Structures are given as structure tokens and as C-alpha cells.
Amino acid sequence: MPQTIEKIAFTYAELTGRAQERARDWWLQGHEIDIEWIKDHIAEAATMLGIEIETQNKRRAIYWRAGHCQSDGASFSGHYYYRKGALAAIVKEYPTDKALHDIARGLQEAQRKAFYGLSARIESRRDTSVSVSVTNDRNRYGDSSREQEEEIAEAMRDFAHWIYRLVLDTYDHETSEESIADCMAANEYLFDENGRIV
């Protein structure tokens, strides 16, 4: 015959420090960062800069490794073309993101020196680096100078680093105690006195 058992339930905020730690551990075990949101955010910034991220098997060619070791980083594959007004668009959409401002400014300056005719092919290398091939469409042979190549390549590497920072910052935010507490409250999770979900 079924029996009714009564339990006292606590919200996350009502738990002791040790019980909150157990509840956070439970939440983190099943939580993954929103990869599609990150890739959408990256693609939006890339488009503003004039970067077209490739799609491979219906997925954007954006990669990263973030395991807290030397080989960590990010990369992407795609094409870059001059985009008029890129710096203004980036500053308007990301007013406090100095790294993106610097990337847009660097691309604009490199393009100005080449009469806005530079384009590039970017290829991912081992998930954490990019290879960049630059052409000058204003030069009838398509050749670009070593300086032009390096300026565009540096901007693409900086963008890959920006991707990596975005991934790390997003993970740190989503797994912070404050963010987890907000999630617990929003979802009205209830726990026993030891921090186990009820």
C-alpha cells in the first residue's frame, strides 16, 4: 500500500553553504554552455567585420578548445572581404568591446593602404590556430605585399583570440555562483537540507 512521506524542502537561497555547494555541483553536472548562442554571436560580429564564416555539415566552422592548457584557443574557417562601415557598425553594436574595435580598426587601416582591395581565405588549423592567405584584388596579379598579408593575418588571429575569450567569459559567467543562484531561483528548484534536489 502506498505511503505518503513528508519532506521539508528548501529553496537554494535557504540552504547552508555546504548544501548550496552540493546543489551547485548537481546543477553543473548537467549544464552545458549554449554553443549555438555563442556561434550566433561570433557570426554576427564576423559579418560586421566582413568575415564570412564557412558552414561544414550544416554547422559553422568555428572551433575552440578550452581545457586550461597551453594548446587552448579558437579558430575558424571562412573568407574575409572589405566591408564598408565595419568600424562604425562594431562600435555601435559593441560599444565597450575594445578588442573588437581594435580588430575593425586594424582591418580598416590595412584596407586603406591597399585601396580597399584585400581579401583573404582563412583556414582552421588544429582547432586553435588559423592560416591566412591574402590577395589584393586591386593588383592585376592578385599579389599582396608581405606587410598587407601580415596585417590581415594578425587581425584574423586577433578575432580567433576574441572568440576564445568570449567562450571563456561565457563559461565563467554561466558557472558563477551568482548565475547558478539566479537559475535555481528562476526554475524554483527545491532541495532537501543536504542540497539534493527533491
**Residue 138, φ and ψ in degrees, nearest 5:** -85, -15
Whether the per-residue pLDDT at 142 is higher than 60: the answer is no
* Confidence label for 127 from pLDDT (cuts 50, 70 and 90): low
What is the rounded CA–CA span in Å between residue 198 and residue 184?
Answer: 13
pLDDT at 40: 95
Give the model confidence (pLDDT) of 145-183 as tens digits: 888 889 999 999 999 999 999 999 998 998 999 999 999
76-to-23, 55, 57, 67, 106 alpha-carbon distances in Å = 36, 10, 14, 18, 19
The sheet that has 118-125: what strands, in order across it?
51-53, 78-81, 118-125, 129-136
What is the rounded CA–CA span in Å between residue 164 and residue 157?
Answer: 11
Q: Which residue would you say has higher pLDDT here, 139 or 102?
A: 102
**Residue 194, φ and ψ in degrees, nearest 5:** -95, 0
pLDDT at 143: 63
For residue 10, give the DSSP letter.
Answer: B
DSSP H or E stretch at residue 166 = helix 146-174
168-to-74, 139, 148, 165 alpha-carbon distances in Å = 11, 40, 31, 5
